[in-house]
């Protein structure tokens, strides 16, 4: 019985190496089997210089906007304009009343007049003494010096009283609120009899110049180089989608916003009919054209991966990665910059699975 068991074990152990030797050639045949390469479509690239439309959302802001506050404390005595009123530059739109200021002005005027009377008497006395001094020895030198000093002192007192009165008169002018420029009153926050002052929170009124509006836009960093002062921008308003308007670029900030990485530009729109209102949202279309022709390739040919941004070029029947930088986008085409020449053939549909150096059928 033992001999039978030993014989079975021996036969089993001998069969294991044999089976391993039989499977090894099979695995080797799988490893050496060549992989099939799918055919890759290529396109030839050429330079072009099309106009690329950049669509941006912007906002219309008034050309001028000022909040009017009270310079000195007082009560609202008269209101000559209300919300929606059109006012001209220098027009009186509100009058305040400050009785204490008027009282101080009257008091200062009285002091000025009193000093004028004192100075007139001193000057008459000085003239008499000066004429008497023409007779040698009639007036002592000390007396002449004293009357001269008195005259100069009284003259200075007159000037001081006059300045104090004019100062109060200037302050009194602050009680009259005038429009700083021609425009429309868009906000009024006080009524007759209200007490106002320089420390108030809300302004008395807000005036806007809506005859000219500014279209404010934030242009992305990649598109800044294509815009210059004087260019025309077409835009539409959501409230009036059937109409198209045009504005001309008048100002560029000259610096990029740190957070948005964009440059702020403003385009002026002459709002003669006052059809458009401040703070409307505008959809603008800006044509961007380079000064020289560049390469536009199919967007599907651009590969963006952890290795960077590149396209795959056909070099002698093999794939070659060419690093590029992106530019403008035109429908299904994209502008690229890199070491490219006209006539180069690139893979039309690039992807990360294509390895560099692979054969192209």
Cα distances (angstroms) measured from residue 65 to each of 180, 228, 278, 344: 10, 26, 10, 56
The answer to whether the Cα torsion of 193, 199, 203, 209 is positive or negative is positive
Helices (H) and strands (E) in the chain, counts: 3, 20
Confidence of residue 137 (pLDDT cuts 50, 70, 90): low
CB 132 within 8 A of CB 138: yes
- What percent of the chain has pLDDT above 70? 87
Strand partners, 96: 76
Length of the chain measured in residues: 361
Cα distances (angstroms) measured from residue 5 to each of 1, 16, 317: 7, 17, 65
Cα distances (angstroms) measured from residue 153 to each of 120, 122, 147, 162: 12, 10, 10, 14
* Mean pLDDT value across the chain: 84
pLDDT of residue 149: 86
pLDDT tens, residue by residue, 37-65: 545 788 999 999 888 888 999 999 999 99
The Cβ-side half-sphere exposure at 352, using a 13 Å CA radius, reads: 6
Q: Is the pLDDT of residue 292 over 90?
A: no
pLDDT of residue 280: 95
Q: Answer whether CATH 3.90.209.20 is correct for domain 56-63+208-288.
A: no
Q: Is 81 helix (H, G, I), strand (E, B) or coil?
A: coil
Confidence of residue 138 (pLDDT cuts 50, 70, 90): low
CA pair distance 256, 215, nearest whole angstrom? 18
Domain ranges of the chain: 42-49+293-347, 56-63+208-288, 68-178
pLDDT of residue 200: 66
pLDDT tens, residue by residue, 147-168: 888 888 888 988 888 888 888 7
pLDDT of residue 353: 86
Q: Is the pLDDT of residue 336 over 90?
A: yes
Strands 52-68 and 195-196, bridge-based pairing: unpaired
- What percent of the chain has pLDDT above 90? 42
Q: Is the pLDDT of residue 23 over 60?
A: no
Q: Is the pLDDT of residue 271 over 70?
A: yes
Q: Answer whether CATH 3.90.1150.10 is correct for domain 42-49+293-347.
A: no
pLDDT of residue 157: 87
Which tokens go with 24? 């090894």
Strand partners, 296: 335
pTM of structure? 0.64
């Amino acid at each position: 019985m033992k001999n039978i068991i030993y014989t079975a074990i021996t036969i089993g152990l001998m069969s294991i190496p044999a089976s391993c030797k039989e499977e090894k050639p099979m695995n080797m045949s799988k490893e050496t089997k060549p992989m099939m390469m799918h055919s890759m479509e290529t396109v030839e690239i050429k330079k072009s210089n099309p106009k690329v439309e950049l669509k941006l959302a912007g906002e219309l802001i008034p050309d001028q906007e000022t909040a009017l506050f009270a310079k000195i404390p007082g009560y609202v005595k008269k209101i000559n304009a209300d919300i929606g009123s059109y006012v001209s530059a220098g027009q009186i739109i509100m009058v305040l009343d400050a009785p204490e200021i008027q009282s101080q002005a009257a008091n200062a005027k009285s002091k000025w007049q009193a000093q004028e009377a004192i100075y007139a008497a001193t000057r008459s006395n000085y003239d008499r003494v000066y004429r008497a001094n023409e007779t040698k020895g009639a007036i002592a030198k000390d007396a002449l010096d004293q009357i001269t000093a008195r005259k100069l002192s009284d003259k200075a007192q007159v000037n001081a009283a006059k300045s104090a009165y004019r100062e109060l008169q200037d302050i009194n002018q602050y009680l009259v609120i005038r429009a700083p420029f021609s425009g429309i009153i868009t906000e009024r926050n006080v009524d007759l009899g209200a007490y106002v002052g320089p420390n108030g929170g809300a302004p008395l009124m807000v005036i806007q110049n809506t005859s000219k509006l500014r279209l404010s836009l934030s242009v992305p960093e990649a598109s800044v180089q294509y815009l210059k002062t004087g260019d025309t921008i077409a835009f539409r308003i959501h409230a009036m989608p059937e109409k198209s308007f045009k504005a001309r670029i008048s100002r560029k900030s000259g610096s990029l916003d740190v957070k948005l990485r964009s440059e702020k530009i403003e385009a002026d729109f002459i709002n003669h009919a006052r059809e458009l209102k401040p703070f409307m949202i505008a959809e603008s279309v800006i044509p961007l054209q380079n000064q020289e022709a560049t390469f536009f390739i199919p967007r599907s040919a651009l590969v963006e991966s952890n290795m960077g941004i590149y396209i795959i070029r056909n070099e002698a029947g093999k794939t070659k990665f060419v690093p590029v930088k992106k530019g403008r986008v035109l429908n299904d085409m994209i502008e690229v910059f890199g070491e490219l020449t006209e006539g180069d053939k690139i893979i039309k549909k690039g992807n990360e699975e294509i390895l560099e150096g692979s054969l192209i059928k």
